[in-house]
């Protein structure tokens, strides 16, 4: 039995990611790669895509959700109340999916701006859906207040060592299947995916590049300001 989990006070390392990969393997898909010839794209180099949109629930996020829940179960700290999370949509769907697969309750708080399709997807996995305010921060605060009452295990979208280790399994698979890579571009929102992948690729010589939308450059802004 795997009985060691990363401390919330530190970032995970490669050993944590390897344990996460072992832990979640029965529950997630090792997603395929798509190799594109650079000449066909007008580029001087080939491109390799990892198709995480084919992952269960439609994104990479079940990796972190499963790792967090299974880590808690293995260490005897998974409460009867199950899990709780705040999400704009995809993380909530991932937590709900993992909770259903593992037979535990889930309560997901979303902001008012979360669309009907994402709400329906979360509910389709059997989670209790709660609307927690106008934006993500309001939903997060509502989930924190509810967690204090219920005692459920919180599963953060990105700021949690077990989540980062789970997301880092994307890099573990990528590195094994495409060891020739010199640069890896990572779509960045909250930072969970690039945080986990950075933990794997640290000191590897591979250059990790964060890619964000111009309208929401959260990581770039945080780095510029020197704070979250």
pLDDT tens, N- to C-terminus, the chain (228 residues):
233 344 445 789 999 999 999 999 999 999 999 999 999 999 999 999 999 999 999 999 999 999 999 999 999 999 999 999 999 999 999 999 999 999 999 999 999 999 999 999 999 999 999 999 999 999 999 999 999 999 999 999 999 999 999 999 999 999 999 999 999 999 998 899 999 999 999 999 999 999 999 888 888 888 889 887
Q: What is the pLDDT of residue 152?
A: 98
**Residue 159 CA, distance from chain mean position:** 10
Nearest to 96 by CA among 71, 53, 59, 151: 59
Q: List, in order, residues 6 or more apart from 108 with CB less than 8 Å away.
A: 84, 85, 86, 87, 92, 95, 96, 122, 127, 128, 129, 130
Q: What is the pLDDT of residue 4?
A: 39
Domains and CATH numbers, the chain: 14-59+161-225 (3.40.50.1100), 80-151 (3.40.50.1100)
Distance CA 210, CA 223 (A): 12
pLDDT of residue 121: 96
Whose CA is closest to 64, among 171, 137, 139, 205?
171
């Amino acid at each position: 039995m795997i009985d060691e989990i990363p401390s919330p006070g530190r970032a995970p390392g490669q050993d944590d990611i390897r344990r996460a990969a072992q832990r979640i393997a029965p529950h997630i898909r090792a997603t395929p790669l798509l190799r594109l010839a650079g000449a066909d794209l007008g580029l001087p180099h080939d491109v390799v895509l990892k198709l995480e949109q084919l992952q269960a629930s439609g994104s990479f996020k079940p990796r972190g959700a499963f790792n967090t829940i299974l880590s808690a179960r293995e260490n005897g700290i998974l409460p009867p109340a199950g899990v709780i999370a705040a999400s704009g949509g995809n993380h909530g769907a991932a937590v709900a999916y993992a909770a259903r697969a593992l037979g535990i309750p889930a309560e997901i708080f979303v902001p008012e701006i979360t669309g009907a399709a994402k709400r329906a997807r979360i509910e389709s996995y059997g989670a209790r859906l709660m609307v927690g305010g106008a934006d993500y921060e309001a939903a997060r605060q509502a989930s924190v207040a509810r967690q204090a009452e219920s005692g459920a295990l919180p599963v953060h979208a990105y700021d949690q060592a077990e989540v980062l280790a789970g997301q880092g399994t994307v890099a573990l698979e990528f590195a094994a299947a495409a060891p020739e890579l010199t640069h890896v571009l990572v779509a960045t929102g909250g930072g969970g995916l690039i945080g986990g992948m950075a933990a794997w690729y640290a000191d590897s010589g591979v250059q990790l590049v964060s890619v964000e939308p111009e309208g929401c450059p959260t990581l770039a802004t945080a780095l510029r300001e020197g704070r979250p």
